[in-house]
Amino acid sequence: MASLVLLGGYFLALVQPGMLGWDPLYFAMASATCQVLAIPARLVLQNGLSELAAFRRDQSGAIRRRTVGLIAGSGIAMSTAITFIGQWEGLRTEAYRDVVGIWTVCYGETKGVQPGDRYSKAECDAMLAREILAYEAALDRCLTHPVPVGMKIALVSWTYNVGAGAACKSTLVRKANAGDLSGACNELPRWNRAGGRVWAGLVNRRGAERAMCHQALKEAA
């Protein structure tokens, strides 16, 4: 079983949801589950169940006080966020101009990017993880109403795409803070433009974010 978990994680890391005909949300959830289970599976394969028991008893890295966001504080949530956001941003290891002419690299990174910049995939993955933490923290400064983890992932994906300033000034955040979480989810499809034009990629991304948002509310109910 441990071997199957590791093989499943390797397989999902090499493919995209479209290649399997899977819904992006379920692909992200499957990938995140394999990533989280990979650590105990590797311990079982290498050292047996006794090592896994010792791993579970070890509290040296436990978070004693809630000082981080929902995504930052959960390995499953972070893995899901990386997979979900990464698939929409797309990976480009060499700097390029985006649809509105801004120099971009990796998973949509624009800060300080210059023509000719190159990064490895590992560097891009680390960059995306740092950006998710930063965007969640920025969103948390204006999103004051508690939301389910899945909704938070969807909103951080949206914030990563449109910017924290625009997100915090939005009707979406105002509705969420007023307790209208379903209404907040329904605001996502309105953010489908770049450079004044509606883009099919943004329509699809907003639809997936909205679906994740509502699914999280349904599961939390």
Reading the block at residue 48, the tokens are 């047996």
Active-site entry in 98, 117, 125, 180: 98
- The full set of domain ranges for the chain reads 1-52
Dihedral sign for Cα 180, 185, 187, 191, please: positive
Paired tokens of 138: 């920025």
Alpha-carbon gap, residue 75 to 35, rounded angstroms: 9
d(CA 196, CA 100): 10
Digitized pLDDT (tens) for each residue of the chain, 221 residues in all: 545 544 555 455 555 556 666 665 565 656 655 554 544 444 344 455 554 455 445 444 443 334 479 999 888 898 899 999 999 988 999 999 988 899 999 998 898 999 999 999 889 988 999 999 999 999 999 999 999 999 999 999 999 999 999 999 999 999 999 999 999 999 999 999 988 999 999 999 999 999 999 999 999 99
- Buried b / exposed e along 66-99 (16+ C-beta atoms within 10 A): eeebbbbebeebbbbbbbbbbbbbeebeebeeee
Token pair for residue 59? 């509290």
- Amino acid letter at 78? M
Active site residue 23: no
- Residue 126 C-beta-side C-alpha neighbours within 13 Å: 5
Global confidence as pTM: 0.67
Q: How far apart are CA 89 and CA 158, in angstroms?
A: 11
Q: Give the H or E element holding residue 118.
A: none
Does residue 98 carry a catalytic annotation?
Answer: yes
Among 23, 58, 89, 117, the active-site one is 89
Q: Cα separation of 110 and 103, whole Å? A: 6
Using alpha carbons only, give the angle 87, 91, 92 rounded to the nearest 5 degrees: 155
